[in-house]
Amino acid sequence: TGLDELDARVSVCRACPRLVRWREQVAHAKRASYADEPYWGRPVPGLGPPDAPILVVGLAPAANGANRTGRLFTGDRSGDWLFASLHRVGLATQGTSVHADDGLELVDTRMVATVRCAPPDNKPTNTERDTCAPWIEAELRLLAEHVRVAVALGGFGWDATLRTYAAIGWQVPRPKPRFGHGAEAVLTDGTRTIMLLGCFHPSQQNTFTGRLTESMLDDVLGRAAALGRT
């Protein structure tokens, strides 16, 4: 399919010198606890069925998470939270995600990263964000026929989702709707609509401090499941 082709093309992209260096350096050095494991060390494509009605938009792969396993949110603490919640609301076949061959499958859900290579300190520059934008634009175009609801993780994911849909010709509300946990906005291409839902990012910074609880995460993902399946 077009999506398979896109996934294959993005996985060999080298357009951002700083991120190429970082993703490969981390993969070469390896964290001590993963010393015996292979590292992916490349851009991480989207995950989940191509006809999914639910889209989850994240920030970027984690250096020792998806940059190691090659599968989004797999093998890091944010992913532990996210997949556990997706499983509780019926959007994943299991609640843990350890490595790329652990049998986990997303249900009715496609997950994408805004920036596809792991950035130092989880912070891509604006130039890197813009350089990577054509990849998520191409992917959202290919998914557009099926997507009914988009969950944006964090303010970065919220802004990126609005920016990406605007770039591929969708009408997004003006002024730009404010990000918040449970925030909602409607996007339209003139005939179809997508409900955009804001969700605090399940980063350790948010989960350790209690800013994001399991039930808060379940609320937004459960709403996405309900909206996506009607």
Cβ proximity to ligand SF4: between 45 and 198 the closer is 45
Three-state secondary structure of 36-47: CCCCCCCCCCCE
- The site map against ligand SF4 for 125-144 (x = CB under 6 A) is ---x--xx--x---------
Cβ proximity to ligand SF4: between 98 and 168 the closer is 168
- Total residues interacting with ligand SF4, rule: CB under 6 A: 15
Show contacts with ligand SF4 in window 11-40 (CB under 6 A).
13-16, 19-20
Per CB under 6 A, the segment of 7-15, 62-70, 163-171, 188-196 that binds ligand SF4 is 7-15
Cβ proximity to ligand SF4: between 41 and 43 the closer is 43
Instruction: Tell whether residue 10 is a contact of ligand SF4 (CB under 6 A).
Output: yes
Per CB under 6 A, the segment of 29-37, 83-91, 109-117, 149-157 that binds ligand SF4 is 109-117
- The site map against ligand SF4 for 33-72 (x = CB under 6 A) is ----------x-----------------------------
Contact residues for ligand SF4, defined by CB under 6 A: 10, 13-16, 19-20, 43, 115-117, 128, 131-132, 135
